[in-house]
Amino acid sequence: MKLITNRVYGTEDILPADSYKWQFLEDIMRKQAQSYGFREIRTPVFEHTELFDRSVGDTTDIVQKEMYTFTTKGGDNISLKPEGTAGAARAMLEHGVYNEGYPIKAYYLTACYRYEKKNYGRQREFHQFGMEVYGAASAFADAEVICAANSIFDRLGVQNIRLEINSIGCPECRPKYTAALKEYFGAHEAELCDTCRSRLGRNPMRILDCKSPICSQIARNAPQVLDFLCNDCSKHFDEVKSCLDAVKLRYRVNPAIVRGLDYYTRTVFEFVDTEIGTICGGGRYDGLIEEIGGQHTPSLGFGMGMERLLLLLKEQKIEIPEPPVCDLYVLGIGEQAKLKAFNIVEGVRNASLIAEGDIVGRSVKAQMKYADKIKAHFSMVIGDSELEQNSAKLRNMNGGKETVVPLDEGFFNAFFAAYVEDNNSELLEQLDSMK
C-alpha cells in the first residue's frame, strides 16, 4: 500500500527507538539550567512577523531568505519562529515578568523553522535549547551564561570543543566600525554578491557573516571590531575574559565572530566543533527589549542546536544510556487469569516500575518471545492452576531462577524482595526515593 505522502523535506521523525536520546539530552539540559537558577518558558511556535523583522533584523539571511511567513485568514502576517530569543523576550514584556525583579532567568526547549538547504546537522525544522537572562549588565552575567552552556558539554563528556569569544561593541562605538566597514567593502562592491551589496549601505557587519566564498574571502582582510571598541566595551570584554580565566575555562578570541542576528551587542561567543561546526552560539543583546517596545534592559543568552549536539555525541562515540526496560511481564492464560494478570501489572505500574502484559492476543509461546525481546527482568505465568493455588512462579529472565510468589496482597513484597536480591540498582534507587 502506497502512502498518500511522506514527511516534508527538511524535517525528520523522531521514532520511539531514538526518542530516549532526546529525552536524555533534555533531562541534562533542564538539570543544568535549574542548577544555574533558570526556569522554563514556553512560547508559541509562531509570532507576528514584525517581531522577527525588528529583533532578528530585516537585513539578515534569516528574515530575507529563510523565514516561513504566511498570511492568516484574518489577514495577520505570521511567521514560524526561526529562533527562540525573540519570542521569549516578547513574552517577558507582554506578561510583565520584569515585575518579579531582576535578573530574570529563563530557558526553553523548542522547535524552530528556517527555509534553507538541508545539510549535515541542519534541518528546516530543528530543535533548540536556549537560556536567556534579562536585567543583568555585569560581565559576570556573560561569563555565567557561557559557563552554563559549557556545563552541558562537560556533563555529556564532550571533548575538543572550542570556545570562541569576541566583542562587537555597542551603539557608541559601533558607528565608527560601521563607517570603516563601508569604506573597506565599498572598494570591493563590484565583487560582492547581490545580497551583500544591498547590505553595504544599511548594515555592513552582515557581510562578515556571508557564506559566499567570494564575500568570505574579501571579509578576511576587513577591519576588526576589537580595534574600534570604546573604553566601556573594552573594559567589559576584559572583565568577561577575567571571569573565564578565574574558572579556568579555555577560550580563543576570534574577531571574526559577529553572529547572524542584528540584536547582538558587546560579548558574542560560539562553541565550535571542527567537523560539525557551531554547536552553540550566543551573546549579549542589550538593545533587544527596547527594540521590541520595552525599556532599556541589558540581556543575554545562547541557543544550542540539539540535532548537531546529537551528531557530535555520535562522532565522538559518546554512549547515551539505554532507556529502562520492562521490570515484569505477566502472562495470563484464560479469562480469569488474564484479569488477574492485568490487575498485577497495574499494581506494579502504580509502584513506579515498568510492567507489561498481553494486549494483542498473542499465544503463550509468542508472549514469552515478546518478553525476551523487550528484555524484561522478570516474567510470570498465571493460569487456572496458579489461581487455585493462589501463587505463581516468578522467573528471572536473566538467570532463569524461579521464585514462588503469592498472588494476593503479599505479591508486591515478594516481588520487590526478589528484585532486590537480583541486585537491581535501579530498583533500589526507586525504592529509596519512595521512602
pLDDT tens-digit profile of 278-305? 999 999 999 899 988 999 999 999 999 9
- Predicted local distance difference test score (pLDDT) of residue 431: 46
User: What's the pTM?
Assistant: 0.87
CA distance 291 to 90: 11
CA distance 205 to 276: 24
- Predicted local distance difference test score (pLDDT) of residue 424: 55
393 φ, ψ (degrees, to nearest 5): -95, 120
With bands split at pLDDT 50, 70 and 90, how would you rate the model's confidence at 1?
confident
- Predicted local distance difference test score (pLDDT) of residue 53: 84
- Predicted local distance difference test score (pLDDT) of residue 145: 98
Range with the poorest average pLDDT among 63-77, 280-294, 327-341, 389-403: 63-77
Q: Is 405 helix (H, G, I), strand (E, B) or coil?
A: strand
Q: Is 350 helix (H, G, I), strand (E, B) or coil?
A: helix
Is the pLDDT at 61 greater than 90? The verdict is: no
What is the arithmetic mean of pLDDT over 219-245? 95
- Predicted local distance difference test score (pLDDT) of residue 423: 55
What is the arithmetic mean of pLDDT over 62-89? 89
Tens digits of residue pLDDT in 134-155: 999 999 999 999 999 999 999 9
CA distance 373 to 388: 30
Chain-wide mean pLDDT for the chain?
90
CA distance 147 to 158: 14
- Residue written as grid cell 521464585: 403
What is the arithmetic mean of pLDDT over 194-219? 86
Tens digits of residue pLDDT in 342-353: 999 999 999 889
Q: Taking the CA atoms of the chain, what radius of gyration do you get in angstroms?
A: 28
What is the arithmetic mean of pLDDT over 167-180? 91
Q: Is 165 helix (H, G, I), strand (E, B) or coil?
A: strand
CB 328 within 8 A of CB 351: no
Is the pLDDT at 88 greater than 60? The verdict is: yes
Residues 6+ apart with CB under 8 A from 237: 139, 167, 226, 229, 266, 267
Cell of 175: 558607528
Closest-CA residue to 280 (of 89, 29, 103, 59): 29
Is the pLDDT at 308 greater than 50? The verdict is: yes
CA distance 302 to 284: 9
Is the pLDDT at 78 greater than 90? The verdict is: yes
Range with the poorest average pLDDT among 34-38, 89-93, 162-166, 420-424: 420-424
Angle between helices 335-350 and 411-421 (to 10 degrees): 60
What is the arithmetic mean of pLDDT over 251-263? 81
- Predicted local distance difference test score (pLDDT) of residue 82: 92
- Residue written as grid cell 561567543: 269
CA distance 380 to 368: 10
Range with the poorest average pLDDT among 44-48, 88-92, 262-266, 390-394: 262-266
Is the pLDDT at 312 greater than 80? The verdict is: yes
Is the pLDDT at 435 greater than 70? The verdict is: no
Is the pLDDT at 24 greater than 60? The verdict is: yes
Closest-CA residue to 284 (of 142, 164, 146): 142
What is the arithmetic mean of pLDDT over 81-97? 94
Tens digits of residue pLDDT in 407-420: 998 888 888 888 77
Residues paired with residue 77 on neighbouring β-strands, in sequence order = 71
> Could you give the percent of the chain with pLDDT greater than 70?
94
Which domains are delineated in the chain? 16-173+229-315 (3.30.930.10), 328-430 (3.40.50.800)
